[in-house]
Structure 1
Amino acid sequence: MAISETLSYLIMFNVIHFKQSWSSADPSPFMHHTIYSIFLVLAIFILAIRLFRETKTLFQKAIFIFFITTMMANLFLNVGRTGQLSFALALIIFLLIQFRLSILKTLIIIIPVLTTVFFLAFNFSTIFKNRTIETYRSIDHLITHRTAMSDSTGLRFMMWHTAYEIIREEPFFGVGIGDDIDALHKVLTTKKIQYQADIGNISDFHNSYIQITLYGGIVGLFLWLITIAVMFRQLDDNRDIKTIGSIMLALLTLYMFIGNFPVSYLTILFTLIIGITLKRPNKQMAL
């Protein structure tokens, strides 16, 4: 992450131009900016746990604080909005589990902290400001005019609205894996012709919960939610490990609202972290 972060800053300030895809407008060197934001958030809180829970020299503390600060800055200077929401969600979990605070005390701490962070990001990060305004305008246009704009937010609405029409026809068991795109084209040519030019060539619906419901209906979605709930319950009782596992699961559930899981980098990270943080069976169970 230190290497990725360094490259991100060098790309951001136009110091290096190694790949054609590297641009100061989207300074994520090795992966999509949404996935990179999740990696950043998890790295920030792993460092924070070690900073608060381990005895360190003044120099070591300075190094940890430096990287936490630069990663937070990188998170808000980068493209995308999921990373900022992920940070807020992870901070809540960190305070609840790591310091065992009540929900009220957590809110008392988190509201001024997040307000300050988002205010600074909005005023000093052009990318963050533009993306926030874009989202607001898109939602406002949708509410006011009852039509979606052809930006990232508007396109997602078109996809989800179309998916709703498909799910209405096969609500319990879905259309089956691989048949969702055929169902999409059928709806676009019969019920949602106005969306055809914008989303006619999509390969997924940019929402894992909708995608699962399309594949397996309400039954499939229910089984997936049960799986996530069981993993939450089976996290290790160690406070530090449980914090990391809870943050990873929370980041995954958040990402699934706007992306299709599994995706390569995130799948690897999720498997690694959950494999480490789930409870170990005792010797009797292992036998």
Structure 2
Amino acid sequence: MNNYFKNININQTFYNNYINYFIILYSFCLPISRAGVSLSIVLIFLFWILEADFKRKFYEIKINYFIMAIFIFIIYSLIAVLWSSDKIFALEYVKKYYHFLIIPIIFTSLKKEYIDKVFSAFLFGMLISEITSYGIFFELWTKEGVSPNDPSPFMDHTNYSTYLAFTVFILMHKIIHTDDLKWKLAYSIFFLFSTSNLFLNGGRTGQFSFLITLCVIGFLNFKNKLKAVVLFISLGTTIFVSAYNLSPVFKDRFDYFLHDVEVMINEKDFSNSFSLRVALWISGLEASKHNLIFGSGIGDERENANYILQKFNISNDNFKQETENSIDFHNMYVQYIVQLGIVGLIVILLIFYLFFKLDIRDKVYRNLLIIFLILYFCHSMLGNSFHINQSMVLFALFSSIFITISKYEKLKLS
């Protein structure tokens, strides 16, 4: 009998070790390979099942409010299929949320000693991505569909800029808290490498999210708040001015943004990049009033938005989707208040609130949690981040890491 239980423990340790190896692989593949991410998810799930120990796992999941909020969001989205006109499209839409199921798996199986390794694997993946990006920028090599003027090698520039922004902040903390001089120098070079790359590509979302987060995190970490505001606004301004003068891509994109805002205000022209998004947001908020509590359903966003879009002289060619009535409002909060109503929006905000309220006392991890939350919140204001693969897996990985850190800190205190 003793040998039987001993064998069970050996098997569980064996499977758990491989789960942790594949979580590291998942983190490494995040910036560079969608195929690698998919393979990692399959392997993690398979070994999680083989590991068994379900009583402990389900108990840990059950008492974690953040994971419960994620489940409520997925279940409510499935229920919303019932009042969606194109149920096949709606089910396909909801199916993408399987990425969030990795959260409870990582939470119940990631070992404490592997947490830093997961961060390092992500940084290594970003390093490969950035080397590729710089090679494209300097025309040392080419990649199909990627221009030297916007060198985002493995994903769209909006997501890439957010990945870069978070990478810069991770490296900032590595530089501050690493004692080894060689590693401090290596992280400093990587930091400059990443900050430059952030402003070389065309993703304004990550750039402005970075500057906002820089000011907020500085304010939170200094006792002298006035000094913090002055210091980090000065730093942000210096980075902005340098990027504007040194990066032609950033200069062109920022000048275009100012022109876009000017013609939107003065000429009521909503046909350009940012102004088109503003028109979508206004249309979505107006459309949400028709089904305010439970939403219009998934894939029926256009139903009550058409007349507003026509007011802005926006043609349907801008919104060719897989189903006739679907619109991407390029804002997660607007998207879900239209699809799922106030109920759905409350669930989304609850997820962010519970994430923010995680009890993490380690200053570095607490800072990184707040940084990630601000970056992702800003990112979601300019895209449907809970339905874009690269955004979803980024949230899935780091939310699961932070709730795992919180779990281990509670165990240490108990």
Q: Same fold (TM over 0.5)?
A: yes
Contact kept in structure 1, 2:150 and 2:200, CA below 8 Å? no
> What is the distance in 1 between the residues matched to 2:378 and 2:359?
18
State the Cα distance separating 1:220 from its structure 2 match.
2.2
Contact kept in structure 2, 1:12 and 1:24, CA below 8 Å? yes
Note the 1:244-283 alignment, pairs <5 A.
Answer: 244-262=368-386, 263-278=388-403, 279-280=406-407, 282=410
Residues 158-167 or 265-274, more deviating: 158-167
Higher relative contact order (CA 8 A, sep 6+): 2
Amino acid at match of 1:92: C
Greater share of helix: 2
Contact kept in structure 2, 1:162 and 1:192, CA below 8 Å? no
Amino acid at match of 2:336: I
Considering only aligned residues, what root-mean-square deviation do their CA atoms show, in Å? 2.4
Given the alignment, which residue of 76, 80, 96 partners 2:199? 76
Contact kept in structure 2, 1:93 and 1:243, CA below 8 Å? no
State the Cα distance separating 1:246 from its structure 2 match.
1.1
> What is the distance in 1 between the residues matched to 2:137 and 2:127?
15
How has the CA–CA distance of structure 1 residues 198 and 140 changed in structure 2, closer, same or farther, with 3 Å as cutoff? Answer: farther
Contact kept in structure 2, 1:205 and 1:260, CA below 8 Å? yes
Residues 150-159 or 66-75, more deviating: 150-159
Structure number with bigger Rg = 2
Note the 1:66-215 alignment, pairs <5 A.
Answer: 66-97=189-220, 99-148=221-270, 150-184=271-305, 186-187=306-307, 192=311, 194-201=313-320, 203-215=327-339
> What is the distance in 1 between the residues matched to 2:193 and 2:131?
9
Deviation track 1:76-96 (CA, whole Å, cap 9, x = no partner) reads 111121121121133234434
Amino acid at match of 2:190: F
Unpaired segments ≥5 residues, structure 2: 1-125, 322-326
Amino acid at match of 1:91: L
Contact kept in structure 2, 1:93 and 1:246, CA below 8 Å? no
State the Cα distance separating 1:188 from its structure 2 match.
6.5
> What is the distance in 2 between the residues matched to 1:193 and 1:2?
43
> What is the distance in 2 between the residues matched to 1:94 and 1:167?
34
Q: Percent identity?
A: 31
Residues matched between the structures, number: 280
State the Cα distance separating 1:216 from its structure 2 match.
2.0
Unpaired segments ≥5 residues, structure 1: none
Q: Structure 1 length as normaliser, TM-score?
A: 0.89
Contact kept in structure 2, 1:44 and 1:72, CA below 8 Å? yes
> What is the distance in 2 between the residues matched to 1:78 and 1:147?
26
How has the CA–CA distance of structure 1 residues 89 and 38 changed in structure 2, closer, same or farther, with 3 Å as cutoff? Answer: same
Amino acid at match of 1:187: Y
Contact kept in structure 1, 2:244 and 2:250, CA below 8 Å? yes
Counterpart for residue 40 of structure 1: 164
> What is the distance in 2 between the residues matched to 1:142 and 1:224?
30
Matched residue of 1:27: which SS? coil
State the Cα distance separating 1:223 from its structure 2 match.
2.8
Q: Structure 2 length as normaliser, TM-score?
A: 0.63
Residue 183 of structure 2 is aligned to residue 60 of structure 1: yes
Given the alignment, which residue of 115, 132, 135 partners 1:10? 135
